[in-house]
Amino acid sequence: PGTHPRATWWNAVPARPGDLLNVRDTEQALENFKRVPTAEADIQIMPAEGGNAKPGESDLQIQWKQGLPFRLALGLDDGGSRST
């Protein structure tokens, strides 16, 4: 269960196909993919491939892996008084 991987990619990367490559957009995308504490991500800029690729175009190769789909948090609060 959860979000479809394409929806995650679409929301995490601020650039769209055909946009000029902006390093800040790439860095922001990397931070978005890494915001989940158990996730590891890497983005590589590769020369564009395929039949419709033009000289000077690039593809972003995104590798994303989530270690554990869950986390455990434990908290203790001793901030009350004896009367509460």
**Helical residues (DSSP H) of 1-84, grouped into ranges:** 5-12, 23-34
pLDDT at 19: 84
pTM over 0.75: no
In a domain, 34, yes or no: yes
- We report the CATH number of the domain holding residue 59 as 3.10.20.310
Residue 13: CB atoms within 10 Å: 20
Domain that holds residue 62: 5-66
In a domain, 81, yes or no: no
Kindly provide the residue ranges of all beta strands, DSSP E only, lying in the chain, ordered along the sequence: 39-47, 58-66
In a domain, 32, yes or no: yes
Q: Are 21 and 47 in contact (CB under 8 A)?
A: no
In a domain, 37, yes or no: yes
Domains: count for the chain = 1
Q: What is the mean pLDDT of residues 2-25?
A: 72
